[in-house]
């Protein structure tokens, strides 16, 4: 069967987005949620800290009274008591008075700064201060960490360790995360016999796992319509991926399976590598069909499948690390196709050098290991010229 409906990547993303199934969220401990997509927006329920607190071990006092303090001419205070983070303050502090405060202790009325213990000398209840402090120096001010109603995490944002601290701070120890699951099967007699190693499938499984999604590999199935159908039926995930067997070749039986069990959303994508990438709906489920070659499969997973998932969930694609540099070798593009070219970068005088790897060779996984980033060439361009300033999206795993 021939490819007739090559469509653009943007088109494929918006078509694909319509066909994703609704999945339930899963609630997990916040501590295990790092790297996963939050499905909940969390706003701060109050000001943090709730009141001005000391940010140091030291003495709370009025900063005005330290203006001329120095080693030779210390400012002198009477120490009125001590406060801990757990203390409640029931008194205020007057002129010439200071209060010993531990880090986190509330600041009593009448004080507006904390002088570090190391800049003082305490003798009985007498305190000498050797250097001036500015107003609110060494003070964590009410609401300075998080103001009430500030957004801590948006729905669709991936959870980081600082989010964990902020969520705990708000009393949130569990959070709903995206529980989208992906099942991956590979087709090809050569994989079943072991003539060719199936390196694409474990890479895709680990790729989606590393994105905080659920993924499971279903091994390889021989080039046989019935066997492919049987294996697909056994896969319980929300989204299925089939690698290999997508082409117009003689042993590419997948189109026949699609014809029997569902319909194509699109067949063929204007990207390189990855032009045979297709999407069908079979028994109500989206089934992405990718090349069996590792680089083509990875490019399609990153630029189509993950983006469809993020789109559907209203998830946010993090702003990538995009840099500019000077292309060191011309690259020809197949007009009408968006090319994802692996590049290495080198710092040099006159700015960053961008050294393209190959645009073909979609089996060439080493070119990805070795690459620093991806240069995208748009559909309407015939290529990029040597010496041209180009943008590179740095690879971050």
Whole-angstrom CA distances from 59 to 11, 69, 75, 136, 289 are: 64, 14, 12, 12, 67
Contact call for residue 248 and a second copy (CB under 8 A): yes
Residues 348-367 that bind a second copy (CB under 8 A): 358, 360-367
Binder among 8, 15, 155, 169 for a second copy (CB under 8 A): 169
Contact call for residue 188 and a second copy (CB under 8 A): yes
Residues 108-137 that bind a second copy (CB under 8 A): 117-118, 137
Rounded Cα gap, residues 167 and 147, in angstroms: 14
Closest contact distance (angstroms) between CB of 15 and a second copy is 22
Contact call for residue 198 and a second copy (CB under 8 A): yes
Which stretch, 16-24, 71-79, 206-214, 374-382, contacts a second copy (CB under 8 A)? Answer: 206-214
Which stretch, 16-24, 25-33, 303-311, 375-383, contacts a second copy (CB under 8 A)? Answer: 25-33
Contact call for residue 160 and a second copy (CB under 8 A): yes
Binder among 168, 283, 316, 387 for a second copy (CB under 8 A): 168
Closest contact distance (angstroms) between CB of 165 and a second copy is 4
What tokens were used for 118?
């190391």
Cβ partners under 8 Å of residue 112, min gap 6: 62, 63, 135, 136, 139
Binder among 190, 229, 379, 393 for a second copy (CB under 8 A): 190
CB nearer to a second copy: pick between 9 and 83: 83
Give the helix/strand (H/E) hosting 69: none
Rounded Cα gap, residues 391 and 386, in angstroms: 13
Contact call for residue 176 and a second copy (CB under 8 A): no
CB nearer to a second copy: pick between 50 and 95: 50
> Nearest-5° angle of CA 305, CA 310, CA 311?
95
Contact call for residue 46 and a second copy (CB under 8 A): no
Contact call for residue 368 and a second copy (CB under 8 A): yes
CB nearer to a second copy: pick between 292 and 325: 292
CB nearer to a second copy: pick between 252 and 310: 252
Binder among 138, 181, 186, 339 for a second copy (CB under 8 A): 138
Cβ partners under 8 Å of residue 253, min gap 6: 187, 223, 224, 225, 228, 245
> Strands of 120-123's sheet, edge to edge?
113-116, 58-61, 97-101, 75-83, 126-129, 120-123
Closest contact distance (angstroms) between CB of 310 and a second copy is 17
What tokens were used for 334?
């197949």
H helices within the chain, ranges in order?
Answer: 9-18, 161-169, 189-193, 200-210, 225-233, 254-261, 294-300, 306-312, 366-370
CB nearer to a second copy: pick between 74 and 292: 292
Residues 69-88 that bind a second copy (CB under 8 A): 82, 84-86
Binder among 94, 96, 135, 162 for a second copy (CB under 8 A): 162
Closest contact distance (angstroms) between CB of 161 and a second copy is 4
**HEC secondary structure over 234-283:** CCCCCEEEEECCCCCCCCCCHHHHHHHHEEEEEECECEECCCCCEEEEEC
Which stretch, 27-35, 63-71, 282-290, 381-389, contacts a second copy (CB under 8 A)? Answer: 27-35
Closest contact distance (angstroms) between CB of 383 and a second copy is 14
Whole-angstrom CA distances from 112 to 68, 138, 283 are: 17, 9, 67
Rounded Cα gap, residues 350 and 217, in angstroms: 47
CB nearer to a second copy: pick between 243 and 285: 243
Residues 314-353 that bind a second copy (CB under 8 A): 321
Contact call for residue 197 and a second copy (CB under 8 A): yes
Rounded Cα gap, residues 350 and 344, in angstroms: 16
Contact call for residue 189 and a second copy (CB under 8 A): yes
Three-class SS state of 92: strand
Which stretch, 18-26, 204-212, 254-262, 374-382, contacts a second copy (CB under 8 A)? Answer: 204-212
What tokens were used for 75?
């400012």
CB nearer to a second copy: pick between 90 and 284: 90
Contact call for residue 393 and a second copy (CB under 8 A): no
């Amino acid at each position: 069967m021939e490819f007739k409906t090559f469509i653009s990547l943007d088109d494929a993303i918006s078509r694909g987005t319509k066909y994703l199934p609704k999945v339930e969220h899963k609630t997990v401990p916040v501590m295990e949620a790092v790297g996963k997509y939050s499905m909940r927006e969390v706003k701060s329920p109050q000001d943090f800290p709730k009141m001005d607190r000391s940010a140091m071990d030291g003495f709370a006092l009025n900063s005005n009274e330290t203006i001329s303090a120095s080693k030779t001419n210390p400012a002198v205070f009477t120490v009125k008591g001590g406060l801990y983070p757990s203390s409640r303050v029931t008194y205020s502090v007057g002129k010439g008075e200071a209060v010993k405060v531990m880090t986190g202790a509330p600041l009593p009325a009448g004080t507006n700064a904390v002088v570090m213990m190391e800049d003082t000398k305490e003798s009985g209840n007498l305190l000498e201060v050797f250097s001036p402090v500015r107003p609110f120096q060494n003070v964590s001010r009410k609401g300075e960490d998080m103001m009430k109603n500030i957004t801590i995490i948006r729905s669709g944002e991936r959870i980081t360790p600082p989010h964990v601290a902020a969520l705990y701070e708000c009393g949130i120890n569990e959070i709903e995360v995206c529980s989208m699951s992906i099942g991956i099967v590979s087709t090809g007699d050569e994989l079943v016999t072991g003539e060719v190693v199936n390196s694409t499938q474990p890479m895709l499984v680990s790729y989606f796992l590393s994105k905080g999604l659920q993924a499971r590999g279903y091994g390889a199935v021989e080039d046989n319509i019935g066997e492919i159908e049987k294996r697909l039926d056994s896969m319980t995930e929300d989204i299925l991926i089939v690698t290999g067997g997508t082409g117009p070749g003689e042993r590419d039986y997948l189109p026949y399976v699609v014809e029997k069990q569902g319909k194509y959303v699109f067949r063929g994508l204007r990207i390189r590598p990855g032009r045979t990438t297709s999407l069908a709906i079979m028994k109500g489920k989206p089934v992405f069909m990718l090349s069996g070659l590792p680089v083509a499969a990875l490019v399609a997973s990153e630029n189509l499948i993950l983006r469809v998932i993020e789109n559907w969930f209203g998830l946010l694609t993090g702003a990538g690390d995009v840099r500019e540099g000077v292309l060191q070798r011309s690259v020809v593009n197949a007009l009408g196709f968006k090319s994802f070219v692996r590049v290495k970068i080198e710092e040099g005088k006159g700015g960053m050098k961008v050294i393209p790897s190959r645009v073909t060779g979609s089996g060439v996984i080493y070119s990805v290991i070795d690459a620093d980033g991806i240069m995208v060439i748009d559909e309407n361009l015939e290529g990029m010229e040597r010496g041209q300033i180009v943008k590179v999206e740095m690879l971050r795993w």
